[in-house]
Structure 1
Amino acid sequence: MTSFLIFVCFNLAFFSVSQAAVTVDCGKNSMSVRWAETQSQVDPYSLLLGDCSPTQVTIKPFGTEAVFNAEFGACTIRRLVTVSQMLFETEITSTTTSKGSSVYYPVSCAYDRPEDWAPPLYDPLLFHTHGQGDLNFHMALMMDDFSAVATSTTFSLGSMIPIAASVDQHSHQPLLLLLEECVASTTPELGPDSQMYPLITNKGCLVDSKKTNSKFLPRSQMSEIRLSLQAFKFAIGEDVYIHCELVAWDPKDLDGGKKACQYDKTNSRWMLFDDPSQSSLCSCCDTNCQGRKKRELAAESLDSTYVLGPLVIVENS
């Protein structure tokens, strides 16, 4: 076990007709979740941890048990990065219901964040192979010069919020990292009661750049992207969470559905961040962007969802 991490496991509220005991064991890079039930009110084979089925199911005369073993980054486990912690969150649900009630049981693992942690960047000098290897995504709030992770998450209205994202490509072919969708919300999970403020929509259009000074910053590597958001007038003084969909894509195959576009106020038009000569790909940003139909390389592993926060935006004193 790595010495700079302190492992903490906790369970949140439980809503189900069944009386189940749920235990969570947090490992270095994974979680093991055990669902044990004596009254057998829920079919254990219908249970899901995120979008993953049980690793093992045991049915006994006195009850049932479902066990999930999931690595972080799989099973739609979400990572929430704060100043002091890394949280890995998902929930147990059921594909069937019992007497009209559904299963919903959030589970989490919390870790102290190392002081020197930052999104690792891909070094092309260390890349030698091609293929369809696993991808590991990273995202964090950064210092103004992007030299380290932010030490404060309070921003004055109108100031800039630096965000960095990257992907470890391992044995995968070189890929371009894109932010497909980003929205600010007052809740760590999006729901019907969440207040929301759109930042990036329509498959890569930085809509906030049309009314603020938000912008993408020059890349140092294909596998990273830096975003400078101007602190917006939204939920002033409240906790704000930024939800983003990250996608890694073939840099030679950009289209209306895979792109990074920002608004050029000087020329009153949308520009393709990575190649202005192909800015026609951004012409759909004010309407509805659609990508070409094609077979994606290992599509199930090419994207990831991240939640940053909480951060707080305050009025200037």
Structure 2
Amino acid sequence: MAFFWSCLRFGWLVTVGLAAADMKLDCGPDYMTLVWTDSRSQADPSLFRLGSCFPTSFTPREVVFNVELDDCNFRRLVSGNELNYTNDLLYTSSPDSYVLPFTVPVVCSYQRPKNWYPMRYDPVFSTYGVEDLVFHIDLMNDDFSGPAESTTFPLGSMIPIMASVEQVTHQPLLVLLEECVATTTPDLQIAADMYTIITNKGCLVDSKSSRSKFEERQKVSELRLLLQTFRFGLSQEVYIHCTMAAWDPNGLDNTKKACHYVKDHRWELLDNPVYSSLCDCCDSTCKARKARSPGAGNGLVQKAVIGPLTITDLAS
């Protein structure tokens, strides 16, 4: 991350009051230092987490995190001319504590490097005994041959999106999008309104009222979505939040599927239309109908976000 040296705003400090506590944040070129001080010592300092990271050190009254921005599951987002690294300071509490669990947002802001866009979200995590998996979700060009050259889309046009998983030495895995919603904020938890694209464990509900659809797979580890632009968030920055999953290709059921609506027909299962009955629940609630097979639990789920992108109305 050496290229950040020229665009960093040094010495950025933030103080946030929560009860009797203070948080001080110092953002470096590729690291950050966070100090949480509680003058009343009511919180158990060992129960603090910054994303997935444990405290670097703590005392009865102070918790310190010295971490790199590539660690702790920081989210990298562009907003206007800013490149933001965001995370959450979490306090999990304990059953006998008087201090309730809480979450405080943490943000390090930098000037956006020229010609840089957050086209890829690359969370990496352990698979509990198998090889690490790397998920990607990207805005693509029209034929899915490479990244999109622009993040601006006219109303009515198609937004090509590809989700994929790097399998490394793992057995072949089928990548799916379980849920996707559009908001005008990179933080889904504070979104005042949202537009539902995919819900119900893989149902592309947007396809019932648009030309949106899943494209035929080229690989089981890739899922291509053509999403027709919508009026939600028109001319604003739009973020698409998705839940991605990777499963055994032989373990499809009505909670592990990719379904889109074929006009004047019915819901259709992308990977094998013969079994489109798995999509019948898309107009109600999709729940597992039977116990999972022994291998069906070998899947992983990860949150991802694309954006910002802009939808413009050429007629206005």
Normalised to the residue count of structure 1, the TM-score between the two structures is 0.78
How many residues matched? 297
The 10-residue stretch of structure 1 (280-289 or 33-42) with the greater mean CA deviation from structure 2? 33-42
Q: How does 1:222-261 map to 2 (within 5 A)?
A: 222-261=220-259
Number of the residue aligned with 1:208: 206
CA contact (8 A) 1:205 1:262 kept: yes
CA offset at residue 205 of structure 1? Answer: 0.3
The amino acid that maps onto 1:139 is I
**Equivalent in 167, 187, 190 of residue 188 of structure 2:** 190
Alpha-carbon distance in 1 for matches of 2:118, 2:191 = 33
1:73–1:159 CA distance, 2 compared to 1 (3 A): farther
1:115–1:78 CA distance, 2 compared to 1 (3 A): closer
Alpha-carbon distance in 1 for matches of 2:253, 2:138 = 27
Alpha-carbon distance in 2 for matches of 1:101, 1:247 = 28
Q: How does 1:1-317 map to 2 (within 5 A)?
A: 14-17=16-19, 18-25=21-28, 27=30, 33-37=33-37, 39=39, 40=41, 42-50=43-51, 52=52, 54-59=54-59, 63-67=61-65, 69=67, 72=70, 75=73, 77-80=74-77, 88-96=85-93, 102-108=102-108, 112=113, 132-191=130-189, 193-266=191-264, 268-291=265-288, 292-294=290-292, 297=297, 302-317=300-315
Partner SS state of residue 277, structure 2: helix
Alpha-carbon distance in 2 for matches of 1:11, 1:140 = 33
Q: Which has the higher contact order (CA 8 A, sep 6+)?
A: 1
CA offset at residue 219 of structure 1? Answer: 1.8
CA-based RMSD of the aligned residues comes to: 3.5
Alpha-carbon distance in 2 for matches of 1:143, 1:312 = 15
Partner SS state of residue 14, structure 1: strand
Alpha-carbon distance in 1 for matches of 2:114, 2:145 = 17
Alpha-carbon distance in 2 for matches of 1:168, 1:261 = 23
Number of the residue aligned with 1:128: none
Partner SS state of residue 276, structure 2: helix
CA contact (8 A) 1:11 1:108 kept: no
CA contact (8 A) 1:142 1:149 kept: yes
Report % sequence identity. 40
Alpha-carbon distance in 1 for matches of 2:102, 2:275 = 48
Structure 2 gap segments, 5+ residues each? 122-128
CA contact (8 A) 2:16 2:23 kept: no
CA contact (8 A) 1:36 1:65 kept: yes
1:178–1:20 CA distance, 2 compared to 1 (3 A): same
CA offset at residue 284 of structure 1? Answer: 0.7
Number of the residue aligned with 1:126: none
Alpha-carbon distance in 1 for matches of 2:79, 2:140 = 11
Residue by residue over 1:33-52, the C-alpha shift from the partner in whole angstroms, topping out at 9 and shown as x without a partner, is: 532427346432222223x3
CA offset at residue 113 of structure 1? Answer: 8.6
CA offset at residue 195 of structure 1? Answer: 1.4
The amino acid that maps onto 2:57 is V
CA offset at residue 6 of structure 1? Answer: 7.3
The amino acid that maps onto 2:49 is L
Structure 1 gap segments, 5+ residues each? 121-130
The amino acid that maps onto 1:202 is N
Partner SS state of residue 191, structure 1: helix
CA contact (8 A) 2:16 2:24 kept: no
Alpha-carbon distance in 1 for matches of 2:108, 2:65 = 15
1:94–1:167 CA distance, 2 compared to 1 (3 A): same
CA contact (8 A) 1:83 1:153 kept: no
